[in-house]
Amino acid sequence: MDGHRISLLGTGLIGDFYTMTLHGQRGRDEVRVVYSRSEGRGAAFKERWGIAETTTDLAAAVNHPDTDVVIVALPNFLHEEAIGLAAKAGKAVLCTKPLGRTAEEARRMLAMVEDAGVFAGYLEDLVYTPKTLKAVAAVQNGAIGDVTWARSRETHPGPHSAWFWDGRLTGGGPIIDLGCHCIEIIRNFVGKGNRPVEVMCHTDTLVHPIADEDNAIALIRFESGAIGQFEVSWTFRGGMDLRDEVAGTHGTIWLNHFLRTGFEMFTAGGAGDGYVAEKAETSAGWLFPVGDEVSELGYVDMFTDMFRSLDAGTPPQETFYDGYVVNAVMDACYRSAKTRAWEPVEMEWRGGTTPRIAKRPEVYEGLTVIKREILPDGRHKLILKDESSGDFSDRVVAGS
């Protein structure tokens, strides 16, 4: 029942969430050393989470003799260097989202870990929320039939840290920040073997005085015919809106991860506790906290999968290859936003082929059954098409 000893790189909000998860509850894994670019932030983080050591030397953190796992929780532009060091050190490496700023960068990081033969996990937490895991399992069990459409929406009023706003360091705006979540959620629902063929994306900068987009909407057409749709924004008002909707030929799924989860509080204000939830906008009036954020946002199940897979010698649910595919879709989004046309997703595809969603029309007395409805009296109403004339009619028949 031994756990892992971790070199954590980065002391931002995501470093806090990761450590809160790893050190929370009765976990057996431990952050052993934390790297920060700033001595002060490193010391505060060490103190905050009871970590043995902190350092401002990236290589020293990665190569720490007591750790076997490196977690990269750095700004996007620092991922490649960190992963290179971890691969060289022969350590397991887990990298926060997005993997790269571009597919090309992600491709290089994928090659690094594959060449070094180290375990590598892509820390896409929102795929691991308990609701998403259960919903994806239900879809895989056929509960909603073939998926025809998956919408993932992540919007909030904008990030808390300055570097997020600098496209040179990140690769873009909310597509890079939030779209990466949505794309991987969608892939889990439509099936990871279902190739994202092409993308149509619209972006605009409507509110913030920045060069990158602050709003984007994209459609992703998959090989099966299913459509993925994501909406991301840094201008949403009201908190953090995290919702997914999935439509299938036999059912529907609606997930709400943040603003409406069964926890509602009205406070006339004036009282202590400021923190409601990540990106909450107010601390009075009607508030909608979440119960256990690190569980609800998927961090708990994510690290469990990562460490179990590492121990078992199997790939985790989310790999660097998945991170690379996400980057390839985002690249296509940015190209499409510029050309204003459908753009192919360009990448090395390892996922095989997926057949088109099948239509299997029923035939009734030589006519195609368009729809069958059950009437209150138990009889069935058929909408029928005569394929030769193209005419439609309806007929009521005895129930089967």
Return d(Cα 61, Cα 55) in angstroms, integer: 7
By CB under 8 A, tell whether 145 contacts its own copies. yes
Applying CB under 8 A, the span of 86-94, 113-121, 180-188, 281-289 interacting with its own copies comes to 281-289
Binders of its own copies among 115-134, rule CB under 8 A?
129-131, 133-134
Count of residues of this chain found to bind its own copies when the rule CB under 8 A is applied: 127
Q: Is 161 exposed, middle or buried (0-12, 13-18, 19+ CB in 10 A)?
A: exposed
User: Could you tell me if 67 and 292 are in contact, meaning their C-beta atoms sit under 8 angstroms apart?
Assistant: no
Question: Does 159 sit behind a cis peptide bond, omega within 30 degrees of 0 on the bond before it?
Answer: no
Binds its own copies (CB under 8 A): choice among 65, 117, 313, 390: 390
Minimum distance from CB of 324 to its own copies (Å)?
A: 26
Binds its own copies (CB under 8 A): choice among 14, 85, 135, 329: 135
Task: Provide Rg for the chain, Cα atoms.
Answer: 24
By CB under 8 A, tell whether 398 contacts its own copies. no
Return d(Cα 372, Cα 394) in angstroms, integer: 10
Binds its own copies (CB under 8 A): choice among 40, 50, 291, 352: 291
The tokens for 178 are 């939030």
Binds its own copies (CB under 8 A): choice among 50, 104, 114, 252: 252
Binders of its own copies among 254-273, rule CB under 8 A?
254-257, 260-268, 270-273
Return d(Cα 258, Cα 241) in angstroms, integer: 6
Binds its own copies (CB under 8 A): choice among 39, 393, 396, 399: 393
User: Could you tell me if 137 and 119 are in contact, meaning their C-beta atoms sit under 8 angstroms apart?
Assistant: no
- Taking the CA atoms of 301, 305, 306 and 310 in sequence, report the sign of the dihedral they define: positive
Binders of its own copies among 5-24, rule CB under 8 A?
24
Query: What mask of x and - would describe binding to its own copies in positions 20 to 59, judged by CB under 8 A?
Result: ----xxxxxxx-----------------------------
Minimum distance from CB of 89 to its own copies (Å)?
A: 23
What's the Cα-to-Cα distance from 79 to each of 102, 114, 215, 346, 379, rounded to whole Å?
Answer: 12, 16, 25, 22, 63
Binders of its own copies among 161-180, rule CB under 8 A?
161-163, 165-166, 168
By CB under 8 A, tell whether 329 contacts its own copies. no
